[in-house]
Amino acid sequence: MKFGIVVAEDIPKARDLAKKVKKYLETRGHEVLDTNLTRSDLVVTLGGDGILLHAACEHVELNVPFVGINAGTLGFLTAAEGSEWQGAIEKLIDGKYFISERMTLEAGISKNFHLRGVRALRYNSGQAHLEGGNFRALNEVVVKGMYRVVDLEITVNGQKFLEIVGDGVIVSTQTGSTAYSLSAGGPIVEPEVDCFLITPINAVGLSIPSVALSPNDVVEIKVRKGDDVSLIVDGQEHTKISQSPADAKVFDLLESERPLSAMSSRPNGRSRRPEAQTRRALAGRQSVKVERGRYRVKFGYFDKQHFLKALNAKFGLSGRVFR
Q: Which residues are catalytic?
A: 49
Check if the beta carbon of residue 287 is closer than 8 Å to that of residue 107: no
β-strand pairing of 135-137 with 98-109? antiparallel
Check if the beta carbon of residue 292 is closer than 8 Å to that of residue 102: no
Check if the beta carbon of residue 189 is closer than 8 Å to that of residue 197: yes
Helix axes of 12-27 and 85-94: crossing angle, nearest 10 degrees: 40
Check if the beta carbon of residue 43 is closer than 8 Å to that of residue 68: no
Burial 263-286 (b: 16+ CB within 10 A, else e): bbbbbbbbbebeeeeeebebbeeb
Beta bridge partners of 163: 153
Taken as a whole, the chain contains a residue count of 323
Report how far residue 68's alpha carbon sits from residue 8's, in angstroms, rounded to the nearest whole number: 11
